[in-house]
Amino acid sequence: MATIEFNQVGKSYGSVEAISDFNLSIEDGEFCVFVGPSGCGKSTALKMLAGLEETTKGNILIGGKDVTDLGPGKRDIAMVFQNYALYPHYSVRKNMGFGLKMRGYPASEINARVEEAAKILELTPYLDRRPKALSGGQRQRVALGRAIVREPAAFLMDEPLSNLDAKLRVHTRSEIVKLQRRLGVTSVYVTHDQVEALTMADKIVVMKLGVIQQVGSADELFENPRNLFVAGFIGSPGMNFFRGTIQNAEGRVFTTFGGAEVPLSDTLASRAGGDAIFGIRPEHIVMGKGKVETGLSLVESLGTEKILHFQIPAGQTIDNSEIENDEEDDDRDAQSMRARIIDDHKYQNGETVKMDFPRSKIHVFDIETHEAIK
């Protein structure tokens, strides 16, 4: 168990900067998740921590010891790979004990530790099988077992759930969290799935284009996103955005949405007359009251909850490139907004509804810098 620190770490491939000014401190026993769209540098950061990629700048400390120039085998870390990377010519037992054997542990201790880890991961009946005789979930557990028998200072996991089906992924997700809590080992987990990040992490690091956008707990990121990218990336469905002007009339600070007043925090009074991007999460929109009146373009029923789609008034839309989200991952329709509600009303496509954007739930972002305005 150990703390992990990245100090001014950078990585470049020729003139291409993959990671820049990466500063991060992970506490002992903390579960830290790197999340971001494809190509944001999260796996590169993990590989630098593992020693599988060299850093071009800065240094990395594990347990207070500078490991920047140490090889992966000398960093006292264990890693779980996206494709499990089990040794196909070894049995489960040998796969799990390989790291200990390389470190010169006696056979009796290797066996005892492997048996113990197998018991925790319910792999005892499979110890003498080869990986090809196991299911995807079992292989994943063997990969985890190979990591835990070593009792390392830190676990590193590179999208370990991405090859599992949806149901098994949810189950294994909670198993990993329980295991990490039980062992108390500092863990760094990489994923592009924000649901995994939000449900598993003590600390989430949101990345884009090799730069940390925000570090915080799930609640902090959800409630106080630092910029437009984080606001759009965290949450499912993502935050709704519309463009507008901050107005101050007769002591009321507001913007408009299709002509209807949307009240804003009084702290924005000094910015009156300026344009901004406004954001509200789908679950924060209140239906059935308020000044905003709009027709529903699509009603999606998910049983208990419903996703209601409605158009953003002309001239108030922003396009996806402004949010700078990963196009592959983003299902956002720039022309419409979504409300996520749970009520008994039977909504119909085309129905005109009233809705309210509560003042305390509106996020405001600078139109140029995209930074949050408090």
Total residue count of the chain as it appears in this document: 374
Nearest alpha carbon to residue 349 among 336, 365, 358, 361? 336
Binds another protein by CB under 8 A, chosen from 15, 16, 64, 89 = 89
Interface mask toward another protein for 152-171; x: CB under 8 A: -----------x--------
- CB 138 to another protein: min, Å: 10
98 makes contact with another protein (CB under 8 A): yes
50 makes contact with another protein (CB under 8 A): yes
- Per the structure block, which two tokens stand in for 265? 């925090």
132 makes contact with another protein (CB under 8 A): yes
Tokens 């800065």 appear where? Answer: 58
- CB 90 to another protein: min, Å: 9
- Measured from the CB atom, the residue of 143 and 221 that comes closer to another protein is 143
- Measured from the CB atom, the residue of 163 and 224 that comes closer to another protein is 163
Binds another protein by CB under 8 A, chosen from 1, 23, 66, 81 = 81
Q: Are 198 and 27 in contact (CB under 8 A)?
A: no
Binds another protein by CB under 8 A, chosen from 32, 49, 78, 185 = 78
Annotate 107-145 with DSSP letters as a single string.
HHHHHHHHHHHHHHTT-GGGTTS-GGGS-HHHHHHHHHH
How many Cα atoms sit within 13 Å of 260 on the Cβ side?
A: 15
85 makes contact with another protein (CB under 8 A): yes
Nearest alpha carbon to residue 31 among 247, 178, 167? 178
Q: What is the spatial distance between Cα 207 and Cα 39, in angstroms, rounded to a whole number?
A: 10
- CB 334 to another protein: min, Å: 35
- Contacting positions for another protein (CB under 8 A): 50-52, 71-73, 77-79, 81-89, 98-99, 102-103, 130-134, 136, 139, 146, 150, 163
